[in-house]
Amino acid sequence: MSHNLATKAGYTFPILSDPDAAVIRRYHLLHPAGGPDAHDIARPAEFLVDASKIVRWTNFTEDIRVRARADEMLAAARQLR
């Protein structure tokens, strides 16, 4: 997503663009041949990071259609209080 598109959408947080999948590989999130036409894609992953930049909760899956539910993420966030 380009900076201009993010700005137009009203996003106020940083957006990572990783066209060469360098970050995806660094964090072991590459799903080889997992996308359409067997293209490499990122594994779905969600992270809950606290104000000290410590990862407090993660969710990983191999299925690009599966994501953590909002209630799961909110419950994890509430436990951090």
Domain edges within the chain: 1-43, 44-81
pLDDT grade for 14, boundaries at 50, 70 and 90: confident
Q: What is the pLDDT of residue 27?
A: 87
CA pair distance 81, 79, nearest whole angstrom = 6
Per residue in 20-79, pLDDT (tens digit) is 889 999 988 998 888 888 988 888 888 888 889 899 999 888 777 788 888 988 998 898
Q: What is the pLDDT of residue 34?
A: 83
Give which of 77, 37, 32 is closest to 58, Cα–Cα.
77
Annotate the chain with DSSP letters as a single string: --HHHHHHHT--S-----TT-HHHHHTT-EETT-SGGG--EEPPEEEEE-TTS-EEEEEE-S-TT----HHHHHHHHHHT-
pLDDT at 11 over 60: yes
